[in-house]
């Protein structure tokens, strides 16, 4: 006999096992298994969200925001509150389009104009000399003089001048001298028109014939919004708006008081 007899394959015991059931076709409809995301450490990336409240902003930004909140909470006088009543976006856009046409000439253009003027005077042909172009007037003292002399046709004042005392009296002066004025957003936007970082106010003394229609429409809007509403502007105080937490507390307290009154009426 051979040393190692050929081993026969042992039959597997299937007596205790259940027969394999085939899955139905409906069970294969959703082949992609659900995998819920995990936002633990080392897990999935968080979705984008506003985290500005967790950011330590620079001090000047915090002061800006605190100042804005203070103006909303505290009762501000009417003279300060009037600077919150700015032109709406559509009218302001048209205003800046018009003002952009009357930007002051740069140094190169001014030099060329003065040279031509000097040459014309030397030759005795002053009629051919180039005239000084119509441009925006800037500078608080200069504009004050123009308003007092009633030479200014339209005054544009920035709403965010700091300190506000620099221009707080200018709207009153314009109303007294019957000079149309308006308040727009952004001293920086006014500054770009005259080549400066910021400008408190600008003024127009005259416009070209082709712009008179647009200019008259803007002046009419400014008169309606500011000159004709002088009494309302002088009396309208600002601020006094509560924050979300304070408003909810007062609302909750009023509901509790109303509930107590109902219970007393039933008794």
* Residue 113 domain-assigned (yes or no): no
How far, in Å, are 5, 15, 17, 20, 147 from residue 11 at the CA level? Answer: 18, 11, 14, 18, 113
Give the range of the structural domain holding residue 143, as residue numbers without chain letter.
Answer: 75-104+134-235
* Residue 36 domain-assigned (yes or no): no
* Residue 188 domain-assigned (yes or no): yes
Higher pLDDT, 28 or 92: 92
CATH of the domain at 215: 3.30.1330.30
DSSP secondary-structure letter at 76?
B
pLDDT at 16: 57
Cβ neighbours of 229 (radius 10 Å): 14
* Residue 253 domain-assigned (yes or no): no
pLDDT at 1: 47
* Residue 94 domain-assigned (yes or no): yes
- Is the bond into 215 cis (omega within 30 degrees of 0)? no
DSSP secondary-structure letter at 164?
G
Q: What predicted TM-score, i.e. pTM, was given to this entire model? A: 0.70
DSSP class per residue in 112-135: HHHHHHHHHHHHT-GGGSPPPPP-
Reported as a single tens digit per residue, the pLDDT across 170-195 is 999 999 999 999 999 999 999 999 99
Task: Tell me how far apart the alpha carbons of residues 222 and 137 are, in angstroms, rounded to a whole number.
Answer: 18
Span 198-227, average pLDDT: 94
* Residue 21 domain-assigned (yes or no): no
Confidence of residue 32 (pLDDT cuts 50, 70, 90): confident
* Residue 229 domain-assigned (yes or no): yes
Reported as a single tens digit per residue, the pLDDT across 136-160 is 999 999 999 999 999 999 999 999 9
* Residue 70 domain-assigned (yes or no): no
Residue 4 scores a pLDDT above 80: no
The total domain count for the chain is 1
pLDDT at 171: 95
């Amino acid at each position: 006999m051979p040393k190692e007899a050929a081993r026969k394959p042992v039959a597997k015991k299937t007596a205790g096992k259940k027969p394999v059931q085939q899955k139905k076709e409906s069970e294969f409809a959703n082949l992609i298994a659900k995998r819920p995301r995990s936002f633990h450490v080392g897990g999935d990336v968080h979705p984008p969200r506003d985290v500005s409240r967790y950011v330590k902003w620079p001090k000047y930004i915090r002061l800006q925001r605190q100042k804005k909140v203070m103006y909303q909470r505290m009762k501000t006088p009417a003279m300060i509150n009037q600077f919150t009543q700015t032109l709406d976006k559509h009218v302001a856009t048209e205003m800046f389009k018009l003002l952009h046409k009357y930007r002051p000439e740069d140094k190169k253009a001014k030099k060329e104009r003065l040279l031509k003027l000097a040459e014309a005077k030397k030759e005795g042909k002053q009629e051919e000399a180039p005239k000084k172009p119509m441009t925006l007037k800037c500078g608080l003292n200069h504009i004050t003089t123009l308003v007092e002399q009633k030479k200014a046709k339209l005054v544009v004042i920035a709403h965010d001048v700091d300190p506000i005392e620099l221009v707080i009296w200018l709207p009153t002066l314009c109303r007294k001298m019957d000079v149309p004025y308006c308040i727009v957003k952004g001293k920086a936007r006014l500054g770009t028109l005259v080549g400066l970082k910021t400008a408190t106010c600008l003024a127009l003394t005259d416009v070209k014939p082709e712009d008179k229609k647009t200019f008259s429409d803007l002046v009419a809007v400014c008169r309606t919004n500011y000159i004709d509403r002088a009494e309302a502007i002088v009396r309208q105080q600002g601020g006094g708006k509560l924050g979300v937490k304070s408003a909810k507390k007062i609302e909750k307290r009023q509901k509790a008081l109303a509930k107590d009154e109902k219970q007393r009426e039933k008794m």
